[in-house]
Amino acid sequence: MNVRKYGPFLVGLDLGTTGAKAGVIDGSGAIVSSSFVTYKTSVPFPGWAEQDPSEWWRAATRSVRTAVDSSGVAIGSITGIGVSGQMHGSVFLDDSGEVVRPCILWCDQRTSSQCEWINRTVGTELLAKWTGNPALPGFTAPKILWLEENEPESYRRVRHILLPKDYINMRLSGITATEVSDASGTLLFDVRSRRWSAPMLDALRIPAEWLPPVLESGDMIGGLSSEAAEATGLMEGTPVAAGGADNACGALGMGVLSPGRIAVSTGSSGTVLAPTNAPMEDPEMRLHSFCHAVPGTWYLMGVMLSAGLALRWFRDELGEPETSLAQARGVDPYDLLIDTASGAPAGSEGLTFLPYLTGERTPHADADARGVLFGLDLTKKRSHVLRAVVEGITFGLKDSITIMREMDVPLYEVVAGGGGSRSRFWRQVQADVFELPIISAGTSDAAMLGAGLLGGVASGVWSSPTEACNATSSYGERLEPEPDSFAAYRAAYERYRGLYPALKSEFARTAQ
C-alpha cells in the first residue's frame, strides 16, 4: 500500500526502559516508519536495576538506521532529530567522557537510606522550595550520594553526570547538555526558575561543574557529528534537539500542552500528567512538579510503578488459558484477557486488587508496598480477578486525579495513551472511574512523536512546540463517562483507598 508522505521529515527517538524506538515522521505528524531494538536490564541484587549506556547507543543507532532505510525518504529530506528518554537515570562520565559504571535506572530502589538522609538533612520544606519535589529512590541525586558512599573509587573518577537521553545526544552531537523537563527529575533542579539549584547542590556537596548546561527542550544542541552520521545513516550536521523527558515528550505527542486536558498513560508504569501555566507543588509532595517541554509551562504528575506491568504479571503467571488460545487464533493475549475481564460487573462484586507489585510512588511513596488481592470467596471467577486487576490499575491512576482535584487543577478531558489505551473496554472503565470524557491518542508512540516534533522545532520547521502540536495533533474515539456506573466505582474506589492504610505496617514488617 502506498502511503502519501508530507515533507519535511524528522526522526524521533525514544530511549525507553526496554529498548530504543526510532521513527521517521512527516510534516503532518504521521509516522512513516519505525524500528524497535531491545537491550537488557541488569539486576545485580534485588531492587537494583542497571543498564549499559553503550548498549543504548548500539540500539539507538540501529533503530534509527533501520527506520530511515525502510522509510523510503531521502536522508537529505530529514531536517532534524529529537530524543526522548527514560527519566532519572545516572550516567557517570570521567574527564575523557568515558562511562564510569553502568547507569542506575529510574526504577532502582537501592537509595532509600540516602533519601532518608536528604529528607532529614535538607527537610521537606526546603526540598519543596529548592526543587519542588520530594526525595525518592528513583531520582538522580540520591544515586550520586549512593555512589560516593558505596563505590568511592568510581566516585573519584566522576567529572560529568548526564541523564540517559543526554548521553545519546552527546554521542550524536559531541556536546554535553540537558534540558528543563529531564533536569526536573534529578532533585537538583529549581523547577520554578528552570535552572540548577545552587543551594541544593551545596547541601549535597555535589560540584556544579559536573552538571551540563540547561536548555529548553526545542533548542538545538548542535549538528550531527560525522561519526554519528555514519552510525545512523543520517547526514552530518543534521540539527539535534535538546529533546525531553519521556513523559513530557509523550504529552507533546498527545497534544497535552495547556491546563484542562490531562494525559493518562498506561504502559509498564502508569502516569497522570496535568499541564499548568505556573509551577505548582502538592503541599503533601505526593505529585511531582516538573517543567514541561513547552517554554513557560509546567506540569504536575503522578506515577504508579506497576500499571500494565501488573497485567503482564497476570498474563505470564496466571494467563496460560488466554495465552494458549491467543496463539492458536493468532491474536494478542491481552485482548483475550480484557475480554475475560469484561465478563464481570463494575466493581468486581467486592474483589479489590492493589497493584503495588514493585512498591508505589504516588500517592504513598512506599518501596515496601506489595500487591494484594482482597475479597476472594467461592463466588469469584476468573473474570472477577481480571476485572479487579484492570480496576485496581485504574484506581491507582485515579489517586493522582483525586489529588489534582484537591489542588483545584483544571480537569475537563483525558487523552489516553500507552498500551492500555488500545482497549475500548479499558478506556470506558477509565472514563467511568475518573468521571471524565476520554479521547484516545492518535498514536501509540507519543513519546517518539513528541521527540520528533522537538527535532522540527530545533531545525526551524516550526517556531515552537505549540505550533508543532497544532500542525500535527490527531485523536481517536471519544468516550463519555456512563453515570450508571458511578455508584459501583465510587464504592469500589473507597474500598481500594482503605486497604493501603490498613496494611501499611504489615508491608513494612514483611520487608524487614
Q: Known catalytic residues?
A: 246
171 in Cβ contact with 228 (< 8 Å): yes
C-alpha cell at 129: 522550595
Beta bridge partners of 80: 10
140 in Cβ contact with 211 (< 8 Å): no
Beta bridge partners of 68: none
C-alpha torsion sign, points 434, 435, 436, 440: positive
| Residue 86 φ/ψ region, left for φ over 0, alpha for ψ in the -120 to 50 degree band, beta for the rest | beta
C-alpha cell at 182: 529531564
d(CA 217, CA 451): 9
- Phi/psi for 199 (5° steps) reads -65, -35
Peptide bond into 363 cis (omega under 30): yes
Tell me whether strands 244-245 and 78-85 are parallel, antiparallel or unpaired.
parallel
- Exposed (0-12), middle (13-18) or buried (19+): which is 1, by Cβ within 10 Å? exposed
456 in Cβ contact with 79 (< 8 Å): yes
Residue with cell 531520582: 139
d(CA 280, CA 290): 9
416 in Cβ contact with 436 (< 8 Å): no
**CA dist list (Å): 324 to 337, 419, 464:** 12, 21, 48
**Strand runs (DSSP E) across 246-386, as ranges?**
260-266, 270-276, 288-291, 298-304, 352-354, 372-374
d(CA 272, CA 269): 11
- Exposed (0-12), middle (13-18) or buried (19+): which is 2, by Cβ within 10 Å? exposed
Beta bridge partners of 475: 441
Q: Please list, residue by residue across 393-410, b when 16 or more beta carbons sit within 10 angstroms of its beta carbon and e when fewer do.
A: bbbbbbbbbbbbeebebe
d(CA 505, CA 213): 44
**What residues contact 102, with CB distance under 8 A and at least 6 apart?**
42, 50, 51, 52, 53
